[in-house]
Chains A and B, each alone.
Chain A
Amino acid sequence: MGILSVITFLPLLGALAILFIPKEQVKAIRATGILAALASLAASLYALTSYDPGSMAMTGLPIQFVEKFSWIPSFNIHYHMGVDGLSFPIVLLTTFLCFLAAVYSIGIKERVKEFYFWYLVLEVGMLGVFCALDMFLFYMFWELTLVPMYFLIGVWGGPKKEFAAIKFFLFTLFGSVFMLLGILALYFQTSPHTFDMLEMMSAAASGAFPREFQIIVFLAFWLGLAVKVPAFPFHTWLPLAHVEAPTPVSVILAGVLLKMGVYGILRISFSILPAGYEWFLPYMAVIAFINIVYGALCAMAQTDMKKMVAYSSINHMGYCLLGMVAVSATGFNGAVLQMINHGLITGALFFLVGVIYDRAHTRDITAFGGLGARVPVYAGLMAMTCFASLGLPGLAGFVSEFLCFLGAFDKWKLFTILSVSGILVTAAFFLRMLQKVFLGPLNEKWKDLPDMDLRELVSVVPLAVLMLAFGIWPRWVLDLMNPTMTVMAKMFPGMFALVR
């Protein structure tokens, strides 16, 4: 059994173990859940020690830790796992965030057994999506994330949890139906029929897919992937789902689940359907711009902190889209780095919003004031995370945003320049939030508000440390992905003349 299977299925082992623990033994269940997530994290870190980013001279994707054996021979379906510079950083992000959120989930008091069960199943699904190199397997994992997330929002969520869960479910299901059609179309277009992504990529490189076919299939995939990103106009499920989801689930939702969309676009839409991708580029540039500016402005209109952060996610994923329209090593590096950084930063933001909500039972920005003097540690971490999110140099967000802009500017000057205004709006709404919540005279109502406790610090501080580390030395992440991104940007010589 390869290391990727170990990483992916360790949480499942934990989930199964939890089934055998009586539901009264809450502590044992929590410990099992956290340990399973920790084991998966440890395994992924172990894999990191032997991961070779790949030399610049390589022409193929530096796929590693490959596991491949026949699964359903009659349909040529394989159990095929492997990671490269695109997926491996996200796998690390996933195991890392899942562990932190599992620790934070100690705060979940109701139906703990089911919570951790679904939580670990969700982790399996997400990890599988990023490791799978067989379309069928990929789709299995993709759908596997859906049901746990539905329950995690619908059972442990806020006042409108049922509606939020259903909305999330419907949007995603709607998208994945089209994606399934796309997958089947690809399967039948290849000869011999295959679900293998790498074979599809080489088929695409050798021109096996006609342009019109690619455009149609691209659109089918777009419906599936854009919902997850979320790209305008398929984003309206996100604010509601985020607001209603319990804190650790919001963290996973923003930190990992959204990455499935961007990952899919790079792994499938770009690598297998380059002509469709090329055709769609102008629209994608517009969508990126809308995501950035519209998302930021919508965030500015919020008074609910969590909703504000949710809309800021739409804005930040717009940077990923912007990086992807560049079709260059610069832009791709930016997009993937932005995924990682957004996971760290927005993950931390959702934790922090959860911290205040647990204490005050409100997230209304206008309900606070002057908390900076009362809860300095919380204020410091929140300020740092907000500054990271608005792209302050020295913290993680800056380099990735900059690379996205730098990549896109080459050919999409107008939309890139217009998108820069999103940076200003982002700064405006984060600073306004900081001012209203932490500065000014202390609102007497909160004079006894306690500062962060150990559980919360354990969840947030590692993220803060990485934000700073990756901000100062982005090389630690970039070196993992750069060779892959360089290869990907050159994967289709002769294409993307428009953007080269």
Chain B
Amino acid sequence: MIENVWLIPVLPLLSAAAILFFGKEGEHSKMPFLGLAVMGWCLLQASCIFAQALLGRFEMPYYHTIPWFQFGVFEMTLGVLIDGPAATLLFVVTLVSFLVQLYSLGYMHGDPRLKRYYAFLSLFTAAMLGLVVSSNLLLLFACWELVGLASYLLIGFWFEKPGPAYASKKAFITTKLGDCGLYVGLLLLFASTGTFDLVMLQARAAAGDLSLEVATAVGLLFLFGAAGKSAQLPLFIWLPDAMEGPTPVSALIHAATMVVAGIYLVARTFFIYNAAPIAMGAVAWVGLLTAFFAATMALTAYDIKRVLAFSTISQLGYMMLGLGVAGYTGALFHLTTHAFFKALLFLGAGSVIHAVHSNDMRDMGELSKKMPVTTATVAVATLAIAGVPGLSGWYSKEEILHSVYGHNPTMWLIAVFTAGLTAFYMSRMFFRTFFGKAGDHHKWDHAHESPWTMTLPLGILAVLSAVAGAILHYTGAFARIVDPALILAAPGTPEASGHATEALSHAAPEGAEALGHAAAAAHEAGHAMLHHPPDFLLPGAAMFVTAAGILGAWKLYGKGDFATAKSLREGFSWAADTLEARYYFDDFFLFLVGLSDRLAAAFFWIDANIIDAVFVDGWAAVARALAWLSDFVDFRFVDGAVDGVGLITGDAGASLRRLVRGQTQEYLMYAALSVAILAVFIITR
């Protein structure tokens, strides 16, 4: 079973190509069913692998490579590396992809470019799954860029509208800016280690081969790349605009899967961060600040998808924060549960948008009466993300907050406050959409519950949002397979990783042994922390802020009377304006874009008016020199020659001089023309 894991990314790639090139385009295209069927198969296969991983049925990590290409003595490989996080993400990605493809049958019904839509969705899933399984950073980076491409294509799917066209470009360029950091990080890593293979790198790190400087620089550069993809400060600006894409796309790409690629990258290279405290600290702070600032920006947004986008940014911040405070397991746990409830929230929002044909929450309200299934499922997700005990968000967020508290209580305070904000803005969204009074009666009258293709995925995700956290938490299976000790220690058994043991054998044995002890200690400490019942303070505080957030939102938005909220908005208008302007980050980047445009114009002006001119004038100088030379030759020639001949050549010299002093171009032209004229003469005759 595990040997065939490579099929999981390859099959969607093939189906993407098949959907793109075969079949007829149109709203009645049958090709989407191909995509769906392939996705179903992948989901099945991934579920088996995830289950086997949880039950410990195969040796982890599973590692297999084939040669890709060679340059000099270096060999690049294509390969899979399946450890706990990879197995988990395989399941999450295939599940959400499958549900989104099913949902899209309803949501995209009647779209004339349905076939293309499914081809892009499949392409995205293929690239994302490739990113998840990749055993080396170059392949990971390649897939990283390809998910960016799929994101570009899908954000701009309705490209006739200027909004999506602009947003897709913004998303690509902003993430590309982050990728430049990642690119340099890769260069530096390869220059220092000579490999991109994760297993070999892990062995090197475990053997202490990675110097502090290199680890720190690589860690920070990777973080910059991750900040682009996972929409962290300061590169988050593209994600709110990415909401211009179809809502199922937002659920799949901009909530559950692609945006966690940055988190996954940091987790995948956790051994580098572990060797670089500064980079680790940066991860924590970037995550914390992102979580906080994004949560505040969600407070004032009216576009239901943008609220969710800010929420996604904020939750991704939590995951970053978790990784940064060495809460590796908690961060990946939150990644998993977040994928369920955030995909559900987006699909629920899509269901609402499908019903009222608007993104604006001011047009909504009272929809619970019209859309019971959507309301109920979104309610589960809202409570889950708000952190209500028992639901999945509670467990994962608690684990992160616990790690944060152990790391730095001040950071914990900010994180808990942010959790309260989360409960508030999510409840605000929920109440404004489903409760209170209808904002637009015409739209309300026409609203209806969505078809089963859309509500079934909502139901499945609602169940997972409710129970997945508890199951994974109480069985302890997740903590067993997603264990920091596994990625920090020297990698596994000889048969699992031939390369790694080879690399390890170079390391000093006693060093490896000492590290082995350290790893074992870390292992035990990790388990102790996870299984030890938390103090009263931590869950109590979390429960308190959650309750306060929900109640506060109910007070302000629950009854359809927004007078208090409005007066608050007016009382703190400067703050609200700042939030609505997204702390002016967009303006800052627009300023940079304008600057680069001006720089480009300036360079082009220099090119056309200075550099080119230098050469044109330079030719004049060369021509003058040649003229002088020809004078000189004339003089010598005339001087030494018989008078009559001298006269003739003198005349010839004079005409040549005229030639030279005239159009410079013509002078050298004669050389070529004399060669070419004859040929032209012959063939045109």
Contact = CB atoms under 8 A, between A and B. Distances in A.
A439 B604 contact: no
A408 to B, nearest CB: 9
A297 interface: yes
B191 interface: yes
Contact of B145 (A392, A417, A428): A392
B142 A170 contact: no
A478 B603 contact: no
A410 B74 contact: no
Interface string B604-626: 10010001101100010010000
A114 B668 contact: no
A298 B602 CA distance: 8
A438 interface: yes
B69 A475 contact: yes
Contacts of A399: 69
A369 to B, nearest CB: 10
Contact of B615 (A114, A236, A373, A475): A236
Contacts, number: 174
Contact of A439 (B159, B180, B672): B159
Interface stretch (A34-42, A65-73, A342-350, A479-487): A479-487
Contact of A424 (B164, B165, B180): B180
A431 B680 contact: no
Contacts of B615: 171, 233-234, 236
Interface stretch (B28-36, B302-310, B592-600): B592-600
B191 A409 contact: yes
B669 to A, nearest CB: 6
A104 B146 CA distance: 32
A3 B671 CA distance: 34
Interface stretch (B171-179, B336-344, B473-481, B647-655): B171-179
A439 B142 contact: no
A489 interface: yes
Contact of A117 (B180, B188, B683): B683
Nearest to B619: A170
Contact of A420 (B146, B180, B600, B601): B180
A298 to B, nearest CB: 5
A387 interface: yes
A260 to B, nearest CB: 18
Contacts of A489: 72
B549 interface: no
A398 B76 CA distance: 14
Given A424-B176, A440-B165, A405 B669 contact: no
Most chain-B Cβ atoms within 10 A of its Cβ — which of A170, A302, A328?
A170
B354 interface: no
A12 to B, nearest CB: 13
A248 interface: no
B600 A298 contact: yes
Contacts of B671: 173
A151 interface: yes
Interface of B is mostly: helix
Interface in B61-94: 67-74
Contacts of B642: none
Given A170-B668, A392-B149, A427 B173 contact: yes
Nearest to A416: B187
B567 interface: no
B672 A146 contact: yes
Contact of B184 (A174, A330, A420): A420
A496 interface: no
Contact of B70 (A114, A146, A298, A475): A475
B684 interface: yes
B187 A328 contact: no
A83 B396 CA distance: 63
B669 A166 contact: yes
A435 B169 contact: yes
B160 interface: yes
A114 B71 contact: no
**What size tier do the contact residues of chain B reach?**
35 or more
A33 interface: no
A19 B682 contact: yes
Interface string B151-181: 0100010011110111011001100110010
A297 B603 contact: yes
Contacts of B612: 236
B156 A405 contact: no
Interface string B656-678: 00000000010011011001100
B138 to A, nearest CB: 8
A145 to B, nearest CB: 12
A353 interface: no
A392 B146 contact: yes
B183 interface: yes
Contacts of A302: 604
A416 B159 CA distance: 36
Nearest to A173: B668
B190 interface: yes
Interface string A134-156: 00000000000011001100000
A372 interface: yes
A393 interface: yes
B180 A372 contact: no
A229 interface: no
A147 B72 contact: no
Contacts of B73: 329, 486
A330 B74 contact: yes
A114 B683 contact: yes
B417 interface: no
A300 interface: yes
B141 interface: yes
A409 B597 contact: no
A357 interface: no
Interface in A329-345: 329-330, 333-334
A423 B597 CA distance: 15
Contacts of A147: 672, 675-676, 679
Given A394-B142, A409-B187, A421 B682 contact: no
B72 A329 contact: yes
A301 interface: yes
A23 B68 CA distance: 51
Interface in A302-355: 302, 328-330, 333-334
A392 to B, nearest CB: 6
A191 B173 CA distance: 57
B162 A406 contact: no
A113 B679 CA distance: 13
A394 B146 CA distance: 8
A54 to B, nearest CB: 13
Nearest to B684: A114
A370 interface: yes
A330 B71 contact: yes
Contact of A300 (B141, B159, B597): B597
Interface of B: 67-74, 138, 141-143, 145-146, 149, 152, 156, 159-162, 164-166, 168-169, 172-173, 176-177, 180, 183-184, 187-188, 190-191, 596-597, 599-601, 603-604, 607, 611-612, 614-615, 619, 622, 665, 668-669, 671-672, 675-676, 679-680, 682-684
Given A423-B180, A425-B600, 17 more contacts: A151-B680, A167-B665, A170-B668, A173-B668, A233-B614, A329-B71, A333-B71, A370-B159, A405-B183, A406-B191, A423-B176, A423-B183, A428-B173, A435-B169, A478-B69, A486-B73, A489-B72
25 contacts: A150-B676, A169-B669, A171-B615, A173-B668, A173-B671, A232-B611, A301-B597, A329-B73, A330-B72, A392-B145, A393-B141, A393-B142, A394-B142, A406-B190, A406-B191, A409-B190, A410-B191, A423-B176, A439-B159, A439-B164, A440-B160, A441-B160, A441-B161, A442-B160, A475-B67
